[in-house]
Chain A
């Protein structure tokens, strides 16, 4: 399945971005958000398109296990994107899938099927200190270190919907944090800086979210 959007036909975009369609979530908002940020967007599950794009977005809403299972056929291709230094941007569940695993998939007998991409070593844990779950709503970002994704962003609000949070093995992977009973990573990135993700939904985070999407498109266009 492949769908090209208006911006692509108009040919005025700053970068071509693939939104990976692996059968989960509302792709309309993230597509429109990226277009607003200046990208030409292709929604596809065709791995050939990943290699040609300037950047790849791994979206996602829902359960970790279902996510990694659905993405299994394209797993090697996503790893190749990371290897090639093409920006790979995971959003929400897509970000959690960048890590090695999750508590959410642990009681699964076929542990292997629940493994994340392992691009950022670490795991995802469930909020279990009496917080209302899911963590749903607007919460504040605290930027911890430089990364092109957070240029012009500091102490602003983003929209979150999730029950699990990422715990990278290396604290240096944390770009921004948010406080929900405990401080958890809101944005993470690998050493190379080209694999990164946001726990919140930039496509639902108003102007702050659009700034982050513009930063991403800018990074893809470099």
Chain B
């Protein structure tokens, strides 16, 4: 047997009008629909065979952060699988606080782009295994990149963005992936601005380019519309883990179904 491919539900944690933690899921990019209580969702996904959880604090506020740490502690006390927590992590103290709450790994996006030394500091203080560097990649079809792939006959590079894709950085994702790995990142979490919310599959050329460039494990994210998309990103891009949100939150597919689909086609999964 070999290391299994991981199926990871992503839970975006927000606060509702009463200040309680709540999960909202986007439908067609914009409209957010109340999906449930994050702790209850985590328990249900654990029973369904989730291999790990990613929790993202999408409030980017002090209150949101406090709520998030409380959610993490409650989940960590009841669910005995790995937890990755992201959103607004910018300092070593933020990492410490998040790990202390019960997270096993932290996912860092903007904080590392703005101050890459945070990766070195985090890896030195807590170990590479808990430092996940997340990229929000955007396809660009111009001459300003460093590493190109061909997509539909056109030459394309991938740019790291900030603020959920609203701000470009000019940094090539592949360059950044190399740098993050050298600085001590233990895992890379690859989101696609182009695919996010589309449900028409992961950005396979992007994921493959990152997997080919680094030796650290890669979590593919954005665009999963069903088990066949996970199959594609595992077999075509060689991703180590596939992340999905709405297909699980809206119960279009269960985690069991997804893993059975993969197992039937020869992808090693934990059943």
**Which chain B residues lie closer than 8 Å to A139 at the CB level?**
1-4
- Flag whether B12 is at the interface (Cβ < 8 A): no
Give A144 Cβ to nearest chain B Cβ, in Å.
14
Tell me whether A28 and B102 are in contact (CB under 8 A).
yes
Tell me whether B129 and A204 are in contact (CB under 8 A).
no
Give B105 Cβ to nearest chain A Cβ, in Å.
9
- Flag whether A32 is at the interface (Cβ < 8 A): yes
- Once the chains are docked, how many angstroms separate the CA of A205 from the CA of B46? 11
**Which chain B residues lie closer than 8 Å to A132 at the CB level?**
215-217, 240
Tell me whether B270 and A138 are in contact (CB under 8 A).
yes
- Flag whether B128 is at the interface (Cβ < 8 A): yes
Tell me whether A32 and B130 are in contact (CB under 8 A).
no
> Contacting B99 at CB < 8 Å: which of A26, A36, A63, A134?
A26
- Once the chains are docked, how many angstroms separate the CA of A133 from the CA of B241? 15
> Contacting A161 at CB < 8 Å: which of B76, B80, B103, B129?
B129
- Flag whether A219 is at the interface (Cβ < 8 A): no
- Flag whether B256 is at the interface (Cβ < 8 A): no
Within 8 A of A (CB), among B55-73: 73
Write the B103-132 contact mask toward A (1 if CB under 8 angstroms, else 0): 110000000000000000000001111100
- Once the chains are docked, how many angstroms separate the CA of A77 from the CA of B7? 42
- Once the chains are docked, how many angstroms separate the CA of A132 from the CA of B214? 9
- Flag whether B51 is at the interface (Cβ < 8 A): yes
**Which chain B residues lie closer than 8 Å to A32 at the CB level?**
76-78, 80
Write the A26-50 contact mask toward B (1 if CB under 8 angstroms, else 0): 1011001100100000000000000
Write the B128-143 contact mask toward A (1 if CB under 8 angstroms, else 0): 1110000000000000
- Flag whether A122 is at the interface (Cβ < 8 A): no
- Once the chains are docked, how many angstroms separate the CA of A138 from the CA of B267? 13
- Given A26-B100, A28-B102, CB of A61 within 8 Å of CB of B4: no
- Flag whether B187 is at the interface (Cβ < 8 A): yes
**Which chain A residues lie closer than 8 Å to B6 at the CB level?**
137-138
> Contacting B102 at CB < 8 Å: which of A26, A140, A162?
A26
Tell me whether A206 and B1 are in contact (CB under 8 A).
no
- Flag whether A165 is at the interface (Cβ < 8 A): no
Tell me whether A134 and B128 are in contact (CB under 8 A).
yes
> Contacting B4 at CB < 8 Å: which of A33, A36, A62, A138?
A138
- Flag whether B27 is at the interface (Cβ < 8 A): no
Q: Which residue of B lies closest to A93 (CB)?
A: B127
Tell me whether A157 and B270 are in contact (CB under 8 A).
yes
Tell me whether A29 and B2 are in contact (CB under 8 A).
no
**Which chain A residues lie closer than 8 Å to B103 at the CB level?**
26
Residues of A within 8 A of B (CB): 26, 28-29, 32-33, 36, 61-63, 132-140, 142, 157, 159, 161-162, 179-180, 203-206, 209-210
| Extra A-B contacts (5), CB below 8 Å, given A28-B102, A32-B80, A161-B104 | A32-B78, A61-B130, A134-B186, A137-B4, A206-B80
Residues of B within 8 A of A (CB): 1-4, 6, 46, 51, 73, 76-78, 80-82, 99-104, 126-130, 186-187, 215-217, 240-241, 270
Q: Which 6 A-B pairs have the closest CB atoms?
A: A140-B1, A62-B127, A157-B270, A138-B270, A161-B129, A138-B4
